[in-house]
Each structure stands twice: as C-alpha cells, then as structure tokens.
Chains A and B, each alone.
Chain A
Amino acid sequence: MSLYCRFKGNLGQFELDAEFDLPESGISVLFGPSGCGKTTLLRCLAGLNRLEGQFDINGETWQSDTHFLPVYKRPVGYVFQEASLFPHLSVRANLLFGQKRVKTSQNINGYISFDRLVELLSIGPLLERSVVRLSGGERQRIAIARALLTNPRLLLMDEPLSALDSHNKAEIIHYLERLHRELTIPIIYVTHSHEEVSRLADYVVVMETGKTVAAGEVNAIFTRLDLPIQHDEVAGSVLNGVVAEADRQWGLVRVAVSGESIWCRDTGLELGDSVRVRVLARDVSVALKPLVDSSILNCLQAQIVEIKDDARNSIALVRLEISDSGGEQYIVARLSRKSISQLDLQIGQNVWAQIKSVAVM
C-alpha cells in the first residue's frame, strides 16, 4: 500500500469523512450512489478542494496538517466528467498545454511519449482538428491523453463516461482497458455504474453519505452481503477466469473459473484470454441436486458460506463459494426467504448454483 489518504470536514452542507489505503498500481474505483461524496473526495486528492486531512503517495506528502501542495504543483492527471477541452486551442495545443509546463525526463518510470499515447488512444487523425468538431468520445480521449502527457504519478478520473452515449461509452472503455495494461501508475476512478466497476476495477472503495464504508479486491467487495450495494437491482459478483474452450457451433466459450466451467457467449475471445465474467445475484438460483432437462447451461457446485436473512424483507442473500476456489471466488444469489426455508438451506451445505445469465466483461 503506497497511497494513503484521510479527509474530514464540511464543504457547504456536505460532510466528508474518508480514509483509505490503495495499491500502488491498477485501477481503484471509488464506488457509491450519486451524491455520496466520491467526486469531492477525488477533488481533495487533486487539491481542487481543501479539507483537513492527510495524503501521502509513494512516500511523498501532498497534504498534512501543516502542508498543502497546490494543485498545479501536484504530479497528478485529472479527467473531468465532461472533457473540458480548451475551446480556444486546437486539439494539438490542448494536448501540449500540460506537457510543455512540466520538465519531463524520458527516463522517468512509466514515461509514455507523445507518439505512443497518440497511437494508444488513436487520436492521430484528430490532431489538426478544431476542438468544437469532435464527438463526445473523441473529446474524452483527448482529455485523457492531455492529462497523461503531464507524466503524472497518479491519474484521477471523475465519471469519465457519464456524459457519453452508449456507443461512445463502449469506445472509451475499450481504450481504458488498453491504458490499464500499459500504465504503471495508479488510477483512481469514480463511478456509480455497476458495469464500469465490474469491468475496470482491480480494487474498490465503497462510499456512502460521505464515508468510506469498505475497501478491498473487487470479488471480495461485491460478494459482501452487509453492504448496501447488494440492494441494487443490478448487483452482481465478478469472477476471474481463462478461456479454455471454444464451441464454434453454438457460438459459446468455456471459461474456467477455479476448476469449474462457465459457458458464455463468444464475443470474439481467444483461447487463453483472461476474462472477467459478471453474474447478477438475481440470475442465480440454488438447487440441492444438479438439474437435468433444463435450459440453463451453467450449473456449478458451490458451498453456502453466508446467509443474510432479513425478516422485514421477502428476499434473502446467500453467499456461495465456488468449490475448489480456495476461498477466492464467491458468487451471491438472491433468493426468496420462503425458498431458503423450504429447502432448509444451511451454512456449510453443498448445493448447485444455477446461473441463468452470464456476461463477459
């Protein structure tokens, strides 16, 4: 853990009280409903808002009780919700705005050159265009490149997809995944979208009304039954697997997840690809015996490790460990309390988890 922050204080009516550590690389997502303080927290990290607190990154202190490094002296890249390109400058001048203001050494760890970044984000054809004539996705790509060209040691992204239509969203996600593989610096990404978090996050910090309530690896966080995110209709677990077999006849691939197999729609994957699959809690049902004569393709052996049964509600949540995953991979099933009682489900019991639908992220 090489990034630590703690902020506490009021901004207008809003009270923020947050503290967390983050890994030194990969995408960490600040996740929570709108208005829970994610953006404020991100702005505090950049120095755009000032609350009392502490912020250390890689052994350097950007903020403490006695010290506050102003925004323009922080080696940070910030991508705003709207691309916020400068309308009085060309695309190229926008890109160079930050780069020419930093003294960059090419030997620095994680350095990406202008040309490499232009290639990674496919913005070559846009360079000489006027900023006003770009699509939403193109604008956001320029904004990302512009931030990265300052050679930051931390990249902050504030819901960079929320202002885009679904086509542009898919385009930017694709580029973000590319960058994820290429960049060595940590990325902190704010979103309230379950889809984005399950697709991009390595690490998740969950926020609620100004407070950080949980933090951890993405699979661990999304299978915790005590977090309010489970109440969302689209709450689901994220599993890591490898493409092990392709069935061209039916357009399916088999993803191996800790010794078990999950069949998914083939979206042009190659054998050996590492993939993430997302299983919504509402799509998982539980049976005591393996089902025959069913249309459901995916039926995994699993063990019940936790049951959250709220008497005020007709629904209960059940956490299942996929057999042989060694406590690594869990899924959550949303069942009616009546079924739990009728099947007499108990912790430690071995069951069959039937998964109605799986999405490859």
Chain B
Amino acid sequence: MLDAILLTLKLATVTTVVLLLMGIPLAWWLSRSNSWWSEVVATLVALPLVLPPTVLGFYLLILLSPTSAPGQMIESLIGFRLPFTFAGLVVGSVVYSMPFVVQPIRNAFDAMGERPMEVAATLRASPLNAFFSVAIPLASSGILTGTVLGFAHTVGEFGVVLMIGGNIPGETQVLSIAIYDYVETMNWGMAHLLSLMMLVFSFLVILIMNLSEKRLRKRLA
C-alpha cells in the first residue's frame, strides 16, 4: 500500500513539473497567437477533457508500442521502452492532465491583456525579461490553479494508467489501480481505507486551492 502511495505522489510530482515546463510557454503562445492553427492546437490540448481515458490510453499504447514505427523511433532515441514503465506513465499523465494546467494559465494570460507587457517594454524590459518579471507574476493565480489541478488530476487518473502502465506493483501500480485491485480481490477493508484517503485528499486540495486563489486575486485586484 505504501508503495502505491509513494508511486502516486512521485508520478504526480514529476508530471506536474513537466506540465508546468511545457504548459506555461504553450499557454502563453495560445494566448498571444492570432493564427487559426493555434486554435487547432488548443483543441488538441483540450481533447482529454471529453475523450474516455481508455481511448487516449489505447492510442498512446499503439503510438508508443515497440511494434509501431513511432514507438520504435522513440525507443531507439531514448534507449528504453515506454509502455508499462514509470516513464510511460509520465507521458500518459502529461497528455491526460495537460488541459487542466494549460486552460487556467491561458485564461490568466488572456485576462492580463497587452498593456502590462507594453509598459514593461517601454521600461526597457526585453520580451523574455518582461515575461518572467511581469507576465508570470501577474498570472500567478492561474498558475497556482493549474499546478494544483494538474497534480490532483494525475493522482486521480485511472484509465490511461491502466492502458499504458498496467498493474506492476512498485513500477506502475498507482493508488487508483491498487484500489481497483483490492476490490477485485474482495479486500474491502483496504479499498475503504485507500478510497477514504483519496476523498479527504481531494477535498483538502480543492479547498486550499480555492482559498489561496482568492487571496492572490485580492492582492492583484
């Protein structure tokens, strides 16, 4: 059980870090770009919101499998196989939780408008410098929301993990899978315990997020 909890936390942490590194620049680009295909990218990013996780997991499995051309290419490039490994789980989780990170951050960048960046430029800040000293701090409430949602959503995922990671204890067996396992093997006590922990965790995460977002907004209003 402890294995599953630690693995889940590790997966959620790594996934969230990757998501922020990719999601913040992506959200900025989506917010500032006027090209029609940025909306195509935005739609692709949002797809996991409506697709059943099994569909997403299925395609990822096909894409990454050693029998497919892209899968072979990726494997030869990074030197190891992704399906049914922790790294594969991270890839799946990043895709699956991407909209929960990108959307709130993009909204925050949109709400900011052009003006702060223009002011920064007239005060001699280069675009990159202005991005870090103005855009990121002004979008901090959106970034906080994205971080928490990305983390929590990764903790709560099931379908994608099952499809791409399977159920290998210590390697790919995260909490949600462990609960499923306990129910399948009629271990109701453990299933109860873990489910209750998940429930309390989720409640606390969302409560803390709401409270701190309110404070941040008040400060910047």
Contact = CB atoms under 8 A, between A and B. Distances in A.
Contacts of B134: 86, 88
Contact of A86 (B119, B124, B127, B221): B119
A121 interface: no
Interface in A53-107: 70-73, 76-78, 80, 82, 84, 86-88, 97-98, 101-102
Nearest to B114: A48
B121 A84 contact: no
Nearest to B133: A97
A48 B124 contact: no
B122 A76 contact: yes
Interface in A240-259: none
A112 to B, nearest CB: 16
A80 B119 contact: yes
A84 B115 contact: yes
Nearest to B118: A48
Contacts of A84: 115-116, 119
In this complex, the interface size class of chain A, counting residues with CB under 8 Å from chain B, is 20 to 34
A72 B138 contact: no
Interface in B90-126: 115-116, 118-126
Interface of B, secondary structure class, is helix
Nearest to B115: A84
Contacts of A86: 116, 119, 134, 138
B124 A98 contact: yes
Contact of B122 (A46, A82, A87, A88): A46
A146 interface: yes
B137 interface: yes
Contacts, number: 62
B199 interface: no
Interface centre among A76, A87, A102 (most CB of B within 10 A): A87
Contacts of B125: 72, 97-98, 101
A88 B123 contact: no
Given A84-B115, A88-B138, A101 B123 contact: yes
Interface in A153-186: none
A187 to B, nearest CB: 15
B116 A72 contact: no
B26 to A, nearest CB: 23
Given A88-B138, A88-B220, A132-B221, A97 B123 contact: yes
B123 A146 contact: yes
Contacts of B124: 72-73, 98, 101-102, 150
A78 B121 CA distance: 10
Contacts of B121: 48, 70-72
A132 B121 CA distance: 22
B221 A87 contact: yes
Contacts of A101: 123-125, 129
A82 B116 CA distance: 11
A147 interface: yes
Interface centre among B115, B124, B134, B221 (most CB of A within 10 A): B124
A150 B118 CA distance: 15
Nearest to A83: B119
